[in-house]
Amino acid sequence: MPEEHLKRTLKALKDRFSLQDAALMKYPPALEVPPDQVIQVCQALRDEFEFNFLCELTAVDYWPEEEPRFNLIYGFFSHTNLVRIMLRVPLNGDNPSMPSIESIYRGANWHERELWDMFGIHFDGHPDLRRILMPHDWEGHPLRKDYPLGYEEPQFTFNYDEIDRRKHHARYDEA
């Protein structure tokens, strides 16, 4: 029974919105959705196909590729039919934006804020798009692949002296 519901849902969405299977995902079944159709597809998933729970929303950065630079991945669950479905939304460019689904799935609020904070993806129509994980004055978006890495080289026996010379050694009077 759940498999039949999932097959009907996939067929109906493909026919109505001219969607294709997402090439990189096999399970749960995933469809690739253009950003301008996300609202309509999510509305249909909730109202017609009983996918009442947004269980995940994340992103992937494919930098240095620009077309698409990002992919958003939405995960939905139907408690009535006990099935999952995913949507994959490709976004181009360094300053991507797309419509918010917070008015359809209230739980998207914090997910979208996290994607704004970590990846810099702007959600048009979001009621409170501000940082949620990083401090409010943080500059940049740390999960982007072009975000500058700030790290210390590990100190091993073979490079101990070289790193020790460059290292700042705190003194008691500095504390």
For residue 95, the surrounding DSSP H or E stretch is none
How far does CA 143 lie from the centroid of its chain?
Answer: 10
Each residue of 85-120: b (16+ CB within 10 Å) or e? bbbbbbbeeeebebbbbbebbeebbebbbbbbbbbb
pLDDT score, position 70: 94
Q: What number of other Cβ atoms are within 10 A of residue 83's Cβ?
A: 22
pLDDT score, position 175: 47
pLDDT score, position 152: 65
Q: What is the pTM of this model?
A: 0.82
pLDDT digits (tens, 9 = 90+) for 101-142: 999 999 999 999 999 999 999 999 999 999 999 998 988 999
Domain 2-169 top-level CATH class: alpha beta
How long, in residues, is the chain? 175
Of all residues in the chain, the percent with pLDDT exceeding 70 is: 90
